[in-house]
């Protein structure tokens, strides 16, 4: 074995140490991705995805328009898949693009022009936020806190909602996820409770894992659940 000193670079993840803690970021990977996509001279985009956009697949367009000429053209499948694969690895230290990636990764088989444009928009966003990452705080705080939400009927193709949650240990973000729910719910309240149930299951798992490592943890004493009801 050989001591290489303090960890600074590993698996394309850069580590910067300070009094506040350890910052994990992927600035080099972001710059390489910007260069490979030819967006070095492009203007940075904010935010990473348009909040009003709703992605659809080719079957949905054919059913709605009843005319293949009105549907968006299909882009090169291979180039889109390579771009999404690279964005997947960037989400290791950039949890704020997880929801965007979750949407775009559903159309790998037949991507459209709008899908590629939004994927390139994320790359433009990374250009503005090159040094952003995940901070592992040096503050010794073993309180587990979790935040979750659900986007009701986020997918127009399947009418399913999307669950998103983030779990923090003290001031450090340790787990995050954005995933489409497996069941179609008739109200936003049902989708919210399903998101809460998924988050609680993950909390139980992470607490037991931390206890096996010999670390004492406590859960946040207050739990606030906000449910948005939508009526027609």
pLDDT number for residue 77: 86
Residue 108 lies in a domain: yes
Same domain for 189 and 112 = no
> How many domains does one find in the chain?
2
Mean pLDDT of the chain: 83
Same domain for 194 and 162 = yes
Same domain for 143 and 129 = no
Percent pLDDT > 90 in the chain is 11
How far apart are alpha carbons 156 and 232 in whole angstroms? 18
Alpha-carbon torsion angle 58, 90, 167, 115, nearest 10:
-20
Residue 201 lies in a domain: yes
Residue 77 lies in a domain: yes
Same domain for 143 and 40 = no
Residue 228 lies in a domain: no
Residue 230 lies in a domain: no
131: number of CA atoms within 13 Å, CB side?
A: 1
pLDDT number for residue 225: 44
Same domain for 107 and 15 = yes
Same domain for 156 and 112 = no
pLDDT in tens, 142-193: 888 888 888 888 887 788 898 889 998 888 888 888 888 888 988 888 998 8
Same domain for 157 and 100 = no
Same domain for 200 and 110 = no
Same domain for 120 and 29 = yes
Question: pLDDT category, 120, cuts 50, 70, 90?
Answer: very high
String of DSSP letters for 170-229: TTEEEEEEEEE-SS--SSHHHHHHHHHHHHHHHHHHHHHHHHHTT---EE-S--------
Element (H, E) at 86: helix 77-90
pLDDT at 222 over 60: no
CB within 8 Å of 165: residues ≥ 6 apart: 146, 147, 148, 149, 175, 176, 177, 195, 198, 199, 202
Domain boundaries, position 95: 9-133
Residue 224 lies in a domain: no
């Amino acid at each position: 074995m050989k001591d290489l000193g303090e960890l600074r670079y590993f698996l394309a993840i850069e580590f910067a140490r300070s009094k506040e803690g350890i910052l994990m970021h992927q600035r080099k990977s972001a710059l390489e991705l910007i260069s490979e996509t030819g967006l070095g001279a492009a203007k940075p985009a904010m935010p990473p995805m348009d909040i009003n956009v709703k992605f659809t697949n080719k079957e949905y367009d054919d059913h709605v328009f009843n005319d293949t000429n009105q549907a968006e053209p299909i882009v090169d499948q291979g180039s889109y898949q390579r771009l999404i694969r690279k964005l997947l690895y960037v989400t290791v230290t950039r949890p704020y693009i997880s929801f965007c990636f979750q949407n775009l990764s559903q159309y790998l088989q037949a991507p459209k022009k709008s899908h590629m444009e939004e994927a390139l928009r994320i790359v433009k966003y990374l250009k503005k936020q090159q040094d952003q990452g995940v901070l592992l705080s040096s503050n010794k705080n073993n309180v587990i806190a979790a935040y979750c939400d659900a986007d009701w009927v986020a997918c127009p193709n399947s009418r399913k909602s999307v669950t998103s949650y983030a779990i923090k240990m003290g001031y450090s973000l340790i787990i995050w996820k954005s995933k489409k729910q497996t069941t179609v719910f008739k109200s936003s309240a049902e989708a919210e409770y399903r998101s809460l149930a998924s988050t609680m299951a993950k909390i139980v798992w992470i607490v037991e894992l931390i206890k096996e490592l010999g670390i004492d943890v406590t859960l946040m004493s207050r739990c606030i659940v906000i449910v948005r009801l939508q009526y027609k």
